[in-house]
Amino acid sequence: MIISLNRHRNIIDFALSSLMRRKMKNFSLLAVYTLIVFVIASLLFFVHALKREAALVLADSPDMVVQRLMAGRQDLIPAAYAEKIRSIPGVSTVTPRLWGYYYDPIFGANYTLMVPAKPTIEPGSILVGAEVSRNQRVGVGDMVAFRTSAHTPLLLTVKGIYPAASNLVAADLIIMSAADFQAMFNFPETLATDLAVTVANPREQATIAAKVVEALPDARPILKSEILRTYDSIFDWRGGMMVVILSAAVLSFVIFAWDKATGLSAEERREIGILKSIGWETADVLFLKFWEGIAISLSAFLLGGILAYGHVFFFSATLFEHALKGWAVLYPRFRLVPAVDGFHLTVLFFLTVLPYTAATIVPAWLAATTDPDAAMRS
């Protein structure tokens, strides 16, 4: 065991010397390779952490949300609908939700306005998300001027700010009383944005949703499982940008693996011949190539993985920020809870380390089976 380890150490010595001969080439190869692993691993970590967050946070979202559709678009729902739904057996509560969007023309940002179900906030005051307070440069006690739909100003006082830790759900929220909300949008009191429905037995959700559609043909119920599924398929690997990034990374990898696989230079062939002639076995030559491949690919995998972890969980995926931010003025800054999927890492390992190492060994294997006297005859 120790003895064969010695032999491998010897072979590693030579493999490294051999790699160091083309220092620039191999270090840039390592850098590119690390970069590819870094980008892919960052994406995987980011997406996995977000999915996990969504699954845990939204587990407490309403069992069902009922919207009303008008001409193919969501419309306000009359309070009478709530009564009808409440009368369906199995429904425990129906709560009208009042919420909407507000575009601030001065700061150019979009906010989500929301009225809490329990009247926890008195008219004239608001609670804001951390990013809203940053964007508007307001603190607790400050007044914020809103423009109502009648173009008259509405002054509300900030009563509280959600901590930055809540950014993933509350960054752009402005919580206000129903009276202020209705005043702001000239919102009829008999209407709601949609209805949040709780169901006694979670297994009856689908049945109740069917009954809702039966009773109210223009209603569109959205189940909690559908909400969760939306977030499960969000950032799906098939998603636009993901495919672009992944395919670019994979393609560039394939190109250089192909380059390696096909390009065993005359010089390398000659070296394999020399090694065989001075008493290296075919297996030794293959181990040499194996270690050459591992030195690059395993280092790249481990380094890329570690860098990606730091990038996503300590630096909040700063490199993705611009793509995620898009045209938005208000971008929620959030620290993701570290979560790494072992399966993802395993797949990444098999997609990066193995093909590269194989691409290094296979051509050498073809060359190493030649007769050792080739070196003598050259």
Q: Please, which of residues 264-283 interact with another protein by CB under 8 A?
A: 267, 271, 274-282
Residue 62 carries which side chain, given as an amino acid letter? P
Shortest Cβ 130–another protein spacing (Å): 10
Angle between helices 240-262 and 342-368 (to 10 degrees): 20
Give the Cα separation of 375 and 368 in Å (integer): 12
Binding residue (CB under 8 A) for another protein from 44, 50, 121, 368: 50
Q: Which is nearer to another protein, 214 or 255 (CB)?
A: 214
With CB under 8 A, what is the number of residues at the site for another protein?
125
What are the distances in angstroms from CA 47 to CA 36, 38, 211, 304? 17, 14, 36, 17
Which 326-355 positions form the footprint of another protein (CB under 8 A)? Answer: 326-332, 337-340, 342, 345
Which 190-249 positions form the footprint of another protein (CB under 8 A)? Answer: 194, 196, 206, 209-210, 220, 222-223, 225-227, 229-236, 238-242
Which 109-128 positions form the footprint of another protein (CB under 8 A)? Answer: 109-112, 114, 116-118
Contact 37, 301 (CB under 8 A): yes
Which 128-187 positions form the footprint of another protein (CB under 8 A)? Answer: 129, 162-163, 165-173, 175
Helix (H) or strand (E) holding 81: helix 79-86
Which 285-324 positions form the footprint of another protein (CB under 8 A)? Answer: 295, 298-299, 302-303, 305-306, 309, 313, 323-324
Helix (H) or strand (E) holding 284: helix 282-309
Give the Cα separation of 186 and 118 in Å (integer): 21
Contact 335, 53 (CB under 8 A): no
**Options 104-112, 137-145, 253-261, 360-368: segment touching another protein (CB under 8 A):** 104-112
Which 2-31 positions form the footprint of another protein (CB under 8 A)? Answer: 3-4, 6-14, 16-18, 20-22
Shortest Cβ 171–another protein spacing (Å): 5
Q: Which is nearer to another protein, 302 or 362 (CB)?
A: 302
Instruction: Compute, in degrees rounded to 10, the torsion defined by CA atoms 62, 66, 72, 73.
Output: -60
